[in-house]
Amino acid sequence: METITQLTASNIAAEHICCAFSDKKCAAGYQAKKEWLLQQFDEGYVFKKFDIRGKVFIEYVPAEKAWVPIDAPGYMLINCFWVSGQYKDKGFGKALLQECLKDAEGMKGIAVVSSAKKQPFLSDKQFFIKNGFKKCDEAAPWFELYYLPLTDDAPAPGFKACAKNATSDVKAGLSVYYTNACPFTEFYVKELEQIAKQRQLPITIVPLSTREQAQNHFIPHTIYSVFYQGKFVTQNILNENYFAKFVQPLLERKGG
C-alpha cells in the first residue's frame, strides 16, 4: 500500500490537498484552504493523505479546537474523511483511521459527525459503526454524532444546543454560511449569489471566519450550509442544478 503523508507548514506548498486539484475554477478556493490549514496546524489540526492522485485523506483536530459546535472535551474530532471511487474497500479507510487512533492516544476518544441517511459532504456512518463507533447524539434534521471511547470512563460527547434546531437568525430569503475548510466553497458561494440575484431572491452571505463563530453555528456542519426563511435546507454545495433540486421547490411552495 502507498505511503501516508502528513501535511505541515514546511511541505504544504509542494503537496496537493486531494480536493479540487484538477478543478481550475476552484483554484482560489484551493489556495484559501491551504492558508486555512496553515493557520490550524498550530492548534493541533492534522491532515494526512495517501500519496496517490486521488481523494484519499483524513483531517482531525482536538475537539476543543474544532470549527464545529460540539461539546467533547478530551476528544479528537474527525473533521473530514474521504476515500473515493476506486480506492474504496481496499483498506485505505482503515489505515487512515488507524492514524487518527495513533494520534488520539491518551485522549478520551474520537468523535465524528455523520447523518441518519447517507448525505453529501458527511462521512458515512456505516464505516464507523463497523469500526466500533456508537451514536451518542442527534440534531435536526438528520445530523448524528458518533464516538469511539478510548477510556473506560469517557463521557459521551454531544452537539451544542445552538446546533440542535437547524434554524438561523436570518429569516428573509436565502442565507449561506461557509468556511475555507473546503476548496469548493468560495467559488460556489459566489455562483449561488448570482443565481439568487437572477431570481431577485434576497441572499445573505456569512463567512464563518473564526472558530468562535463556527462553534456557535446553527447546525453541526459548518463548512457550508444553506437556509431559506431561517430554516436549514442543505449542506450540499449548490450550483444551478442543485439550486433547482433543493431551493426552487421551496420558492414555488411560497409562490416566490
Q: pLDDT tens across 163-181, in order?
A: 999 999 999 999 999 999 9
Whether pLDDT at 13 is above 70: yes
Task: Give the pLDDT confidence score for residue 256 in this predicted structure.
Answer: 47
Q: Average model confidence (pLDDT) for the chain?
A: 94
Q: What is the pLDDT at residue 22?
A: 59
Residue 185's Cβ-count burial label (10 Å; 0-12, 13-18, 19+) is buried
Residue 5 above 90 pLDDT?
A: yes
**Alpha-carbon gap, residue 215 to 22, rounded angstroms:** 31
pLDDT above 80 (res 1)? no
Task: State in Å, rounded, how far the first CA of the chain is from the last one.
Answer: 53
Cα gap 67→210, rounded to integer Å: 8
Distance between CA 206 and CA 179 in Å, rounded? Answer: 9
**Residue 89: predicted pLDDT:** 87
C-alpha cell belonging to residue 29? 478556493
Per-residue pLDDT tens for 99-132? 999 999 999 999 999 999 999 999 999 999 999 9
Chain segment 183-241, per-residue pLDDT in tens = 999 999 999 999 999 999 999 999 999 999 999 999 999 999 999 999 999 999 999 99
Does residue 17 carry a pLDDT above 60?
Answer: yes
Check pLDDT > 80 for residue 19: no
String of b and e for 198-210 (b: at least 16 CB within 10 Å)? eeebebbebebee
Which H/E stretch holds residue 212?
helix 211-215
* Beta carbons of 191 and 142 less than 8 angstroms apart: no
Q: Does 48 or 17 have the greater pLDDT score?
A: 48
Beta strands in the chain (DSSP E): 4-6, 46-50, 56-62, 70-71, 75-83, 109-115, 134-139, 143-149, 158-159, 174-178, 203-207, 224-228, 231-234
Q: H helices of 42-159, where?
A: 92-103, 125-130
As a whole number, mean pLDDT of residues 148-154 equals 96
